[in-house]
Structure 1
Amino acid sequence: MSRSTTKRSPRHHLVAIAAGITTALTLTACGPDSTTAAEDPNPTTSSTPQGLLSEAAAKKIVDTFQSVNNRANAVRDAKLLGTVEAGQVYERNAADYKLFKTWPAKEQKTYTKAFTYEDREYLIPPASSGVSWFAVTSRSSDDPKGNRRSLTVFDKVGNTYKMVMSLWTDTKSIPKIDTDKHGFVSPVDPAKKVGALAPNEIAAVYEDFFETGGKTASQKLAPTPTTKTSVQIYKDRNDGDAGTWSTTQFFAADPAHPKVYALRLEDGGVLAIVPMAHTEEQMLKPAYMGSFLITPSTREAVFDSTRRTVITNEYQGQGIVELPRTGKPLAHDLEYQLVDSR
């Protein structure tokens, strides 16, 4: 799992064919997280509602993930990580392992340093909810002041619980989750609208910030620091030398793992953990097509070092979005990672 990730737009520089064209792509980093799972072994016939699993069983899952994740990060073993991680977070972190060699030494050291999940809050739904997942909020042991918290989701993959979603965000970005008198959270159908949008409609709407600068999305989602950053990426896409000889565009894409997770909030709204994806295409302008090629940046070359007239980068990501009972949804946090370049 990653401690933190930010998506930034690449800056490209033109060089004639003989010398090549170089590109400079910004760094997006991730850090730790991992576990395998055990089911709650103690079914009961009591009339008291039962959770999907006990807190003790959830703790064991998170502890196992934590241990395996730290070992996998230390040596960048994607196969080992895959025993405890799946979904969007695995797409991102498997790419981290490939990109690791391109990172600054300080960032490499931080990434491989073991850490633990502290001050955990287990968000367990009742067994009667029909869902197969639970969530956890926590802070990292390397953040003693608790300035940021993670929101992670563990879902059944086969017969094993694996971490499938994970974001590190400002503590204020996780609204109060509703719990019943037994301490269980209430999962929400992602296809059910909350106001004008349903949780599973958010991703398609959000990607418009990258595609058009938000011509459609800005009418449906409230402005937040996250949306403003995405709009700025769109505005900056053709800045600098690269804009004189190439054109960069973004296109919405299907998330590798489209499942959306949603929880009822204490105020009646809904918190959604949403998979996101888009591609970024940089193409030489017609005047340069016959005489120049693009040499991929160091990060892009990890996936494909071939000089070419078009560079297409694939980003997989995830976000935390609040859907209030009234008003527009708020995107609190968004993380992308470069997972392929061709």
Structure 2
Amino acid sequence: MSRPATRARRLHRLTIVGLSAGTALSLTACQAGDDSAGDAPRSTPKQSTAPRGLLSKDAATQALDTYVKVNNRANATRDPKLLNTVEDGQVYEQSSADFEQWNTMTKKDQKWYKTAFYYEGREYLIPSSDSGAGWFAVKTRSSSDTKKRDILLILDKVDGTYKVVMSLYTDERLPKIAVDKNGFISPADPSAKVGTLAPDGLSNAYEDFFETGGKTAGTTFAATEATRGSLDAYKSGPGGELKSYAVEKNFAMKPANPKIYALKLADGGTLAIFPTAHSSELMLKPQYMSQFDITPGKKEAVYNDAKRDIVTNEYQGQALAVLQPKSKPRVMGIEYRLVDSR
């Protein structure tokens, strides 16, 4: 899995050339017949089948245990192909970017990234087999996280194998998930509005924080650590001397993996795990284009180390939000990674 970013979006410093400048079958063989009934016909045995889950808890445990084992091996050797056998979706976009940018990390971060981890306090959130969902979730915590934050994992079947496709640390404790009398969760319709937004409308609405500084998103979403971090990223703009020589603009874009996952909460709300993405353009002001070039920072240079007038970065993200009928959507966790620079 990709390890958590310390900010809503990692910002990267660039410099200008020439200037000093980051989830029994019970035979109620109810044989009602009585030997004293003579020729009276016996009743037909009845069968009652208890609802089944998409998969058993044992199977879900095995899928997650396999993920942890392979993930730890892949992290230790920075092997994206190995990791892709158990991981996909937005989280794989982020993990593979971490591998590409390995040499830009500090020795301390590299050591931490390679340290084996495991998931503790697992709660398997499995839908019934007739729910229409092909995925299950796990609420857990990571042994490597000193803050012991909740993590929500989504495991979906990709090419016949359950892979982790979303993995997100939350800034707040996860709310109680709705579970029926058989212990199964209820997936929610991503296109169904809950209050002002449907899960499938969250990404576009949220990216306004980066495009405009939250002119619309600021009143659409409840204020949380995630929204404040996104606003900080927008406000920071070009760093150092670049403030005088360049401007930065952000544009919402289609996530690399657009599938949305949603499940019902015990209080009637919906928990949505959604992908999101944007690009940023750092551009010299017109009057300086003939005099200077922008030198990409270390992470940008992994993808393109050429000095240029415009540096376009692509950020792929994943986020988690709670939607309630009578309150604003609350984004409880969001994480982006730089995945390309051109």
Asked if these proteins are the same fold (TM beyond 0.5), I'd say yes
Distance 1:22 1:135 in 2: 49
Which string of whole-angstrom CA distances, capped at 9 and with x for unpartnered residues, describes residues 171-219 of structure 1? x331111101111011001001001100010000000001101011112
Which string of whole-angstrom CA distances, capped at 9 and with x for unpartnered residues, describes residues 34-91 of structure 1? xxxxxx9x99985211100000000000000010000000000000001111100000
Distance 2:201 2:258 in 1: 11
Distance 2:221 2:262 in 1: 17
Matches within 5 A, 1:61-100: 61-100=63-102
Answer whether contact 2:15 2:296 (CA < 8 A) is retained. no
Q: Which runs of 5+ in 2 are unaligned?
A: 27-46
The change in CA–CA distance for 1:167 and 1:230 in structure 2 (over 3 A counts) is: same
The change in CA–CA distance for 1:182 and 1:22 in structure 2 (over 3 A counts) is: farther
Equivalent AA in structure 2 for residue 8 of structure 1? R
Equivalent AA in structure 1 for residue 155 of structure 2? F
Q: CA deviation at 1:325?
A: 2.3
| SS of alignment partner, residue 233 of structure 1 | helix
Tell me what 1:341 maps to: 341
Distance 2:143 2:285 in 1: 49
Q: CA deviation at 1:11?
A: 3.4
The change in CA–CA distance for 1:232 and 1:164 in structure 2 (over 3 A counts) is: same
| SS of alignment partner, residue 277 of structure 1 | strand
Answer whether contact 1:22 1:297 (CA < 8 A) is retained. no
Matches within 5 A, 1:1-342: 1-5=1-5, 6=7, 7-16=9-18, 26=22, 46-143=48-145, 147-170=148-171, 172-342=172-342
Distance 1:66 1:43 in 2: 33
Answer whether contact 1:22 1:295 (CA < 8 A) is retained. no
Equivalent AA in structure 1 for residue 162 of structure 2? Y
Distance 2:17 2:189 in 1: 52
Q: CA deviation at 1:291?
A: 1.6
Distance 1:241 1:146 in 2: 36
TM-score by length of 2: 0.90
Answer whether contact 2:318 2:335 (CA < 8 A) is retained. yes
Tell me what 2:34 maps to: none
Q: CA deviation at 1:12?
A: 3.2
Equivalent AA in structure 1 for residue 156 of structure 2? D
| SS of alignment partner, residue 138 of structure 1 | strand
Q: How many residues align?
A: 320
Equivalent AA in structure 1 for residue 149 of structure 2? R
Distance 1:234 1:104 in 2: 25
Q: CA deviation at 1:221?
A: 1.1
Answer whether contact 1:11 1:242 (CA < 8 A) is retained. no
TM-score by length of 1: 0.90
Distance 1:227 1:213 in 2: 10
Runs of 4+ off more than 4 Å: 42-46
The change in CA–CA distance for 1:168 and 1:3 in structure 2 (over 3 A counts) is: farther
Which string of whole-angstrom CA distances, capped at 9 and with x for unpartnered residues, describes residues 107-130 of structure 1? 100100111111110000011110
Answer whether contact 1:303 1:341 (CA < 8 A) is retained. yes
| SS of alignment partner, residue 334 of structure 2 | strand
Distance 1:115 1:314 in 2: 29
